[in-house]
C-alpha cells in the first residue's frame, strides 16, 4: 500500500516537471521523482529483506538523488545559461498531454498485461506514463539539458516497469544499467559544455548544420 | 579458450598508450594485436561450425556459430581499421590537428569500442547485451566528436541522444520478453533459457515486445526511418572509426535483433518477423536510394549506402529460407569488408584534398593512383557488380525472394539497388577521373594503409569468385542458428 503512494508521488513529479519553465525547477522535479523511487525501492527491500535490493536502493539514491542533480546544477552554474527552458509546447498543453499519456498507459496496460494477477496495475500504468513523459520532454523543450533529464526520466520509468511486471531485473543487469546511465550522463554533460563553448548557447533547435 | 583471448586482448591493448609515448609505435602494437586476433576468431568459428552446439561459460558467456560469425567479421574489420589508424593518426598528430595526448586517448577508446562490441557478441544475458550495446554508443561518442568542431559535436550529441532513446525502447522490449518468460515459470534473462522455453511463451506479448526491439535496436542498426543520426555520425567521425561504425557497429545491433527474432520465430512462426524485416528492409532501401542520389559529400554518401545495405540484409533475413539467410549473413561480411575499404579511400581523399565535397574533388587517379584504382573498383564492388562478393550475396537474396514468389519484393529490391548503383558509380567515377587540381600537395599513401587496402580488397575479390569450404561451413552453421534448426 505504501509503495503505491510513492508511485503516485512519481506521477505528480511528472506533472511538476512538464509544468516547469525554469531549469532549476525541472531539476528539482527530477530530484523529487528519484527520491520517491528510492523510497519505494527501500520499502520493497525492507519488506523482502533482500540484500541485493538494499544495494540497488542505495545506488539509486547515490546516483539519481545526489550525484546527477548535483552534476546538472553544477553545469547550469558553470555555463551561466539563462534559466528559461524554452518550451515548444506551453505548460498547460504539456500537462494536458501528460494526462493523455497516462490514460494511454492505462489502455495499454489493461489490454496487454493481465493486471491484477501477476502484475501490479498501478505501477505498470505509472511507469508507462513516466516513460512517455520522458520522451515528450526530450522533444518539446529547447535546452539541451532537458534532453539529459528526459533520458533519465525514461530510465526511471523503465526501472518501475521492470519491477512491476517481473519483480525487477536480475541484480547484475541492474548494476550494469546504473553504470551505463551514469557514464551516459557524464558524457552528455561534457558535450553540453562543448556545445556551449562552440555555439555560445545550448539550444538544440539551433543545432542544424548537418543536413540531408 | 579463444573466447577469452578475444575479450582480453582489447582490454590489454587499452593499456598500451599508458606506457608508450610514440603514437606510431602504439598504432603498430595495436595492429599486431588485432592481427593476432584473426586466427583465434577464425578457429573459434570453424570449431563451432564443425562442433555443433554453442559453448557456454559460467552461464554468463554463450557463443554459438552465429556469434562466432559476427565475432569473425568484427575481428576482420578491427584489424583493417587498426592497420589504417597507424598512419592516419600519426599524420594528424604530425600536422598538429590533434595533440599527442589526444592520439593516446584515441587508441584507448578504439580498443574500448571494440571490446564493447566483442562483449555484446558473447554475453548470454539479454540485459547484459543491452548494457554492452549502450556501452558501444558511449565508447564511440567521443570518437565521433573527436575534432571538437561545431559539426562534430553536433553529430556526437545527436548520436548519443537518438541512440540512447532508441536503446531505452529496446530495454522496454527486453523487459517484456523477461515478463513473458517469468510468466512461464522461469526467472531468467539468459538467451539460452528463453530459446529453450520459447514454445511455452505467450506469442501475443512476444509480438508486441519484438516491435519495441526492432525499433529500439533498429535505431542503432541504422534501419530507416530511425536512421537520422547515422549520416551525421559517420561523416563526422574519424575515418577509421567511420569504418568501424558502419561495418560492425550496425551489425552488432542487427545481431541483437536476430537473437530476439530467433525466439519469436520459435514461438509465433516465421511469418511475423519476416514481414517486419521485409517492410523495414525495403523502406531502408528506398529512403537511402533517394538520399544517395542527392549526396555531395563522399562520407555521407557512404553513410547512406550503409543504410541501403542494412536494408539488403534485412530483406534477406525477412525472405528467410536457407538461401535467404545464407545470403544475408554473407552480405553482412561482404558489406563490412567493402564499406571499410571505401571509407579508407574517403579518408585518404579527405587527407589530401582537405574536403569531402565531391563537386570539388577531381583526378584522384592521378593524385593517388593506388587509392584511385581501389576507389573505383570498390565503388563497383559496393554497388554489387560482379565479380565481387557483394554481387554473389545480393543475387542469393534475390534468388531466394524469387523462388519464394515474392515478385514485388524482387522488383523493388532491383529498382532501389540500381538507383544506388548508378549514384555511387557516377559520383565515384567523377572523383577518380578528371584533371588533377593545380598546386596540390600530395601526401601519398603509407605502406600500412596500402596493406589495409590489399587485405580488404582480396577478401571481396576471393569471396566473389569462390566461397572457400571453411567459410561456407561457418555461414551454413550460423544460418542454422538463425533459422532455429
Closest CA to A126 of A2, A3, A5, A10: A10
Question: Residue A112: its chain B contacts at CB < 8 A?
Answer: 204-205, 208
**Burial of residue A211 (number of CB atoms within 10 Å: 0-12, 13-18, 19+):** exposed
What domain range includes position A105?
A: 2-206
Look up residue B56 and give its DSSP letter: E
Q: Which of B164, B189, B219 to mutate to test the interface with A (most CBs of A within 10 A)?
A: B164
Say whether B175 and A161 touch across the interface (CB within 8 A): yes
Say whether B154 and A209 touch across the interface (CB within 8 A): yes
For the question of an ipTM over 0.90, the answer is yes
Q: Predicted confidence band at A79 (pLDDT cuts at 50, 70, 90)?
A: confident
Distance from CA of A127 to the nearest CA of B (A): 11
Distance CA B3, CA B391 (A): 32
Question: Residue A153: its chain B contacts at CB < 8 A?
Answer: none
Question: Residue A154: its chain B contacts at CB < 8 A?
Answer: 165, 168
Q: Are B159 and B126 in contact (CB under 8 A)?
A: no
Tell me what pLDDT residue A117 has: 57
Distance CA A119, CA B445 (A): 62
Question: Residue B168: its chain A contacts at CB < 8 A?
Answer: 131, 151, 154-155, 158
Domains in chain A, number: 1
Kindly report which listed range (A79-83, B1-5, B126-130, B145-149) carries the lowest average pLDDT score. Answer: A79-83
Q: B409-434: per-residue pLDDT in tens?
A: 999 999 999 999 999 999 888 888 88
Tell me what pLDDT residue B138 has: 92
Say whether A209 and B151 touch across the interface (CB within 8 A): yes
In this structure, is residue A212 part of a structural domain? no
Q: Per-residue pLDDT averaged across A154-176, rounded? A: 86
Pick the more confident residue, A41 or A87. Answer: A41
Distance from CA of B123 to the nearest CA of A (A): 12
Q: Are B392 and B464 in contact (CB under 8 A)?
A: yes
Neighbouring C-alpha atoms within 13 Å toward the C-beta of A127: 24
Look at residue B334 and tell me whether its pLDDT is greater than 70: yes
In this structure, is residue A88 part of a structural domain? yes
* Distance linking the first and last C-alpha atoms of chain B: 26
Q: Is A166 on the interface with B (CB under 8 A)?
A: yes
Q: Is B299 on the interface with A (CB under 8 A)?
A: no
In this structure, is residue A84 part of a structural domain? yes
Q: Residue A161 is nearest to which of B134, B161, B172, comparing CB atoms?
A: B172
Q: Residue B127 is nearest to which of A165, A173, A212, comparing CB atoms?
A: A173
What single string gives the DSSP state of each residue in A37-52? HHHHHHHHHHHHT-HH
Look at residue B323 and tell me whether its pLDDT is greater than 60: yes
Distance CA B361, CA B352 (A): 10
In this structure, is residue A211 part of a structural domain? no
Q: Is B136 on the interface with A (CB under 8 A)?
A: no
Tell me what pLDDT residue B183 has: 74
CA B64 from centroid of its chain's CA atoms: 19
Mean pLDDT value across chain B:
89
In this structure, is residue A65 part of a structural domain? yes
Q: Per-residue pLDDT averaged across B103-117, rounded? A: 93
Distance from CA of A164 to the nearest CA of B (A): 10
Q: Residue B145 is nearest to which of A167, A191, A207, comparing CB atoms?
A: A191
Question: Residue B187: its chain A contacts at CB < 8 A?
Answer: 166-167
Q: Predicted confidence band at B203 (pLDDT cuts at 50, 70, 90)?
A: confident
Look at residue B445 and tell me whether its pLDDT is greater than 90: no
Distance CA B155, CA B145 (A): 7
Q: A120-133: per-residue pLDDT in tens?
A: 778 888 889 999 99
Tell me what pLDDT residue A118 has: 57
Question: Residue B164: its chain A contacts at CB < 8 A?
Answer: 151, 184
- Strand B61-63 versus strand B55-57 pairing type: antiparallel
Q: A97-145: per-residue pLDDT in tens?
A: 999 999 998 888 887 776 555 567 788 888 899 999 999 998 888 888 8
Q: Are B285 and B416 in contact (CB under 8 A)?
A: yes
Cell numbers for B387, please give them. Answer: 565479380
Amino acid at each position: 500500500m505504501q509503495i503505491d503512494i510513492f508511485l503516485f508521488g512519481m506521477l505528480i513529479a511528472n506533472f511538476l516537471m512538464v509544468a516547469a519553465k525554469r531549469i532549476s525547477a525541472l531539476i528539482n522535479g527530477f530530484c523529487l521523482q528519484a527520491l520517491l523511487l528510492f523510497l519505494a525501492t527501500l520499502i520493497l527491500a525492507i519488506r523482502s529483506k533482500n540484500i541485493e535490493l538494499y544495494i540497488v536502493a542505495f545506488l539509486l539514491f547515490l546516483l539519481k538523488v545526489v550525484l546527477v542533480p548535483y552534476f546538472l546544477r553544477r553545469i547550469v552554474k558553470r555555463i551561466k545559461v539563462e534559466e528559461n527552458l524554452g518550451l515548444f509546447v506551453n505548460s498547460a498543453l504539456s500537462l494536458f498531454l501528460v494526462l493523455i499519456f497516462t490514460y494511454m498507459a492505462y489502455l495499454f496496460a489493461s489490454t496487454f498485461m493481465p493486471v491484477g494477477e501477476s502484475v501490479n496495475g498501478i505501477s505498470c500504468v505509472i511507469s508507462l506514463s513516466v516513460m512517455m513523459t520522458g520522451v515528450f520532454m526530450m522533444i518539446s523543450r529547447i535546452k539541451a539539458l532537458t534532453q539529459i533529464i528526459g533520458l533519465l526520466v525514461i530510465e526511471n520509468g523503465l526501472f518501475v516497469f521492470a519491477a512491476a511486471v517481473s519483480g525487477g531485473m536480475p541484480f547484475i543487469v541492474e548494476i550494469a544499467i546504473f553504470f551505463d546511465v551514469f557514464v551516459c550522463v557524464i558524457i552528455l554533460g561534457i558535450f553540453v559544455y562543448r556545445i556551449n563553448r562552440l555555439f555560445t548557447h545550448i539550444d538544440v533547435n539551433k543545432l542544424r548544420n548537418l543536413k540531408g | 579458450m579463444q573466447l577469452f583471448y578475444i575479450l582480453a586482448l582489447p582490454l590489454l591493448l587499452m593499456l598500451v598508450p599508458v606506457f608508450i609515448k610514440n603514437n606510431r609505435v602504439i598504432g603498430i602494437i595495436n595492429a599486431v594485436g588485432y592481427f593476432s586476433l584473426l586466427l583465434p576468431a577464425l578457429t573459434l568459428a570453424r570449431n563451432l561450425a564443425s562442433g555443433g552446439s554453442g559453448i557456454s561459460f559460467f552461464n554468463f558467456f554463450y557463443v554459438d556459430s552465429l556469434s562466432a560469425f559476427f565475432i569473425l567479421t568484427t575481428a576482420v574489420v578491427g584489424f583493417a581499421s587498426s592497420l589504417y589508424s597507424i598512419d592516419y593518426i600519426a599524420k594528424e598528430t604530425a600536422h598538429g590537428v590533434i595533440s599527442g595526448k589526444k592520439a593516446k586517448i584515441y587508441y584507448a577508446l578504439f580498443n574500448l569500442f571494440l571490446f564493447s562490441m566483442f562483449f555484446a557478441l558473447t554475453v548470454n544475458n539479454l540485459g547484459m547485451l543491452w548494457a554492452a550495446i549502450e556501452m558501444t554508443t558511449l565508447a564511440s561518442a567521443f570518437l565521433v566528436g573527436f575534432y571538437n568542431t561545431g559539426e562534430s559535436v553536433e553529430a556526437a550529441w545527436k548520436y548519443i541522444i537518438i541512440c540512447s532513446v532508441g536503446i531505452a525502447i529496446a530495454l522496454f522490449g527486453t523487459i517484456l520478453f523477461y515478463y513473458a518468460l517469468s510468466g512461464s515459470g522461469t526467472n531468467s534473462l539468459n538467451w539460452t533459457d528463453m530459446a529453450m522455453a520459447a514454445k511455452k511463451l505467450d506469442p501475443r506479448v512476444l509480438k508486441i515486445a519484438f516491435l519495441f526491439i526492432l525499433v529500439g535496436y533498429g535505431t542503432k542498426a541504422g534501419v530507416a526511418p530511425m536512421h537520422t543520426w547515422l549520416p551525421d555520425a559517420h561523416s563526422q567521425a574519424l575515418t577509421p572509426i567511420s569504418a568501424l561504425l558502419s561495418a560492425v557497429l550496425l551489425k552488432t545491433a542487427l545481431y541483437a535483433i536476430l537473437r530476439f527474432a530467433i525466439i519469436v520465430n520459435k514461438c509465433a512462426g516465421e511469418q511475423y518477423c519476416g514481414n517486419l524485416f521485409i517492410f523495414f528492409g525495403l523502406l531502408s532501401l528506398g529512403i537511402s536510394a533517394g538520399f544517395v542520389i542527392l549526396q555531395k559529400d563522399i562520407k555521407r554518401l557512404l553513410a547512406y549506402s550503409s543504410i541501403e545495405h542494412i536494408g539488403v540484409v534485412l530483406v534477406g533475413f525477412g525472405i528467410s529460407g536457407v538461401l535467404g539467410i545464407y545470403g544475408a549473413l554473407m552480405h553482412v561480411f561482404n558489406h563490412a569488408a567493402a564499406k571499410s575499404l571505401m571509407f579508407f579511400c574517403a579518408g585518404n581523399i579527405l587527407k589530401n584534398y582537405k574536403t569531402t565535397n565531391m563537386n570539388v574533388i577531381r583526378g584522384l587517379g592521378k593524385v593517388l593512383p593506388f587509392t584511385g584504382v581501389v576507389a573505383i573498383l570498390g565503388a563497383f564492388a559496393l554497388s554489387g557488380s560482379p565479380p565481387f562478393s557483394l554481387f554473389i550475396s545480393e543475387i542469393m537474396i534475390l534468388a531466394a525472394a524469387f523462388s519464394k514468389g515474392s515478385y514485388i519484393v524482387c522488383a523493388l529490391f532491383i529498382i532501389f539497388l540500381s538507383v544506388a548503383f548508378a549514384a555511387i558509380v557516377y559520383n565515384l567515377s567523377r572523383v577518380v577521373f578528371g584533371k588533377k587540381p593545380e598546386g596540390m600537395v600530395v601526401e601519398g599513401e603509407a605502406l600500412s594503409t596500402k596493406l589495409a587496402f590489399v587485405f580488404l580488397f582480396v577478401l571481396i575479390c576471393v569471396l566473389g569468385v569462390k566461397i572457400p569450404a571453411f567459410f561456407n561451413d561457418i555461414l551454413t552453421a550460423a544460418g542454422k542458428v538463425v533459422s532455429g534448426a
